[in-house]
Chains A and B, each alone.
Chain A
Amino acid sequence: MILRLFLLCLALGAAGPAAAGQSDLLSPQQAFRMSAQLARKDEVVVRYDIAPGYYLYRDKLKFVAEPAAVVLGAPRTPKPGVHEDEFFGRVEIYRGALVIRVPVKVPAGTERFTLIVRSQGCADAGVCYTPQQQQVVLGPTPGAAEAGSSGSLVDSLGGAAPDKR
C-alpha cells in the first residue's frame, strides 16, 4: 500500500514540473502583450500587459514613428521596479501592467502612422528574449489599436524600421 502511494506520488511529481519546459515558456509576444492608443491628438498611450514571471527592461524601451514627419516626444514612463541582478546590479524593470505616455506631433493631412516599439525582456525562469519589435498603426483621430504585427529581431531587421540599433 505504502509502496503504491510512493509510486503514485513519484509519478505525480515527475509529471508536474513541465512548467519549466520550453513549451511552457511564453513566446515574447504572449509574455509582453502590447497595445497602443491615440488618446489625444498629441499623445499616444502604450500599454503593456506583462505576464507574471516576466519583466521588461526600462532602458531598452524605444519608440519610433513612421513616417519620420510624425515626431515623438520623450516617453513618460512610470516609476520602475528594481531587479537586483547578480551581474548588472540594480536594474530598472517593469512587471505586470505598464502604461507609457508618448507625446506626438502628427502633421496635418497625415492619414495614419505606424508606432514602432522596441523592447527587451526576460523570464524569471532564467532566459532572456532577443529584442522584440511591435508595431501599431494609428489613425489621425483618437482610438485604440492592438499591436498589429509583432516580431523578434528577425522581423525588425527584415522590415523598414529606422531603429535598427
Chain B
Amino acid sequence: MKRSTRIFLFIAVALVALVAGLALHPLSRDPVAVTPPGLLDTPLESMDGGKQPLGTWKGKVLVVNFWATWCAPCRKEIPEFIRMQERLGPQGLQFVGIAIDEKDKVAPYLREVGVNYPVLVGELDAVELSRSLGNELGALPFTVVVDRTGKVVHSVLGATSEAQLEPVLRALY
C-alpha cells in the first residue's frame, strides 16, 4: 500500500470511529431513575380545581411530563405525546402532564394543541416533586416513566420523542 493511501485510510477509519463513538455514547444528561417515597400520593392541583395524586392512575404505565407553556422545548414534544396517548392508551399507557405554570396560561394551550391526557398544575410543590425525581437543576422538560407497580424506571431531561420512549414502554405493557 502506498504511504499516502495508508495515511488516508488511517484518517478515514479514525473519523468513522469517532462519529460512531459519539453516536453510541449514552445521553448522560438523563438523571438516574429514582422512586421518591410518596410519589403516587403527592396531591397536585387539577385543571378543574380539585386535587389529584399520581396514584389516581396506578396500575397503568405512566409517563409523567413536567412542562410549562413558556418552555419551547416542552412544546416540541407534546404533539408526539398526544399521538402516543391515542395509539397506546388502549394498551394501558397513561400520560400525565404536570405544568409548572399558571392555570390561565395552561388551559388555552391545552385546547389549542388538543391535549388528550390529564394535566395537573403546580408551582413549589411541582418543582419539588420534579427534584425528588432526580431533576436537580429544576429544568424543563423533564419526563419520567413509572411502571404498573409505581416504580420509576426511566427519566429524561430535555425533550424526548416517540422513538426514544417506545422501547422503554414496550417492556412495561
Interface residues of chain A, those whose CB is within 8 Å of chain B, are 2, 5-18, 20-25, 27-28, 57, 60, 85-88, 120, 122-123, 125-130, 152-154, 157-158, 165
Provide the bound-state CA to CA distance between A94 and B139, in Å.
Answer: 19
CB pair A126 B140 closer than 8 Å: no
21 inter-chain pairs at a CB distance below 8 angstroms, sorted by A residue, are: A5-B17, A7-B17, A8-B17, A9-B14, A13-B24, A14-B25, A16-B21, A16-B22, A17-B22, A22-B28, A22-B31, A22-B136, A60-B70, A87-B76, A127-B140, A128-B68, A128-B74, A129-B140, A130-B68, A130-B127, A130-B138
CB pair B158 A127 closer than 8 Å: yes
> With A2-B10, A14-B25 as given contacts, are A157 and B17 in contact (CB-CB < 8 Å)?
no
> With A9-B17, A153-B100, A154-B127 as given contacts, are A126 and B25 in contact (CB-CB < 8 Å)?
no
CB pair B72 A129 closer than 8 Å: no
CB pair B72 A87 closer than 8 Å: yes
CB pair A22 B72 closer than 8 Å: no
Provide the bound-state CA to CA distance between A24 and B158, in Å.
Answer: 13
User: Of B16, B28, B70, which is within 8 A of A120 by CB?
Assistant: B70
CB pair A28 B13 closer than 8 Å: no
Please name all residues of chain A whose beta carbon is closer than 8 Å to the beta carbon of B9 when the two chains form the complex: 2
CB pair B73 A17 closer than 8 Å: no
> With A25-B137, A154-B128 as given contacts, are A13 and B28 in contact (CB-CB < 8 Å)?
no
| Distance in Å: Cβ of A67 to nearest Cβ of chain B | 24
Q: Which of B7-39 contact A (CB under 8 A)?
A: 9-10, 13-25, 27-31
> With A22-B136, A22-B157 as given contacts, are A152 and B21 in contact (CB-CB < 8 Å)?
no
| Distance in Å: Cβ of A9 to nearest Cβ of chain B | 4
B75 at the interface (CB under 8 A from A): yes
User: Of B10, B18, B28, B136, which is within 8 A of A20 by CB?
Assistant: B28
B159 at the interface (CB under 8 A from A): yes
CB pair A13 B124 closer than 8 Å: no
Please name all residues of chain B whose beta carbon is closer than 8 Å to the beta carbon of A7 when the two chains form the complex: 17
Of chain A, the residue at the smallest CB distance from B66 is A130
Please name all residues of chain B whose beta carbon is closer than 8 Å to the beta carbon of A120 when the two chains form the complex: 70
CB pair A157 B124 closer than 8 Å: yes
Of chain A, the residue at the smallest CB distance from B16 is A6
CB pair B21 A10 closer than 8 Å: yes
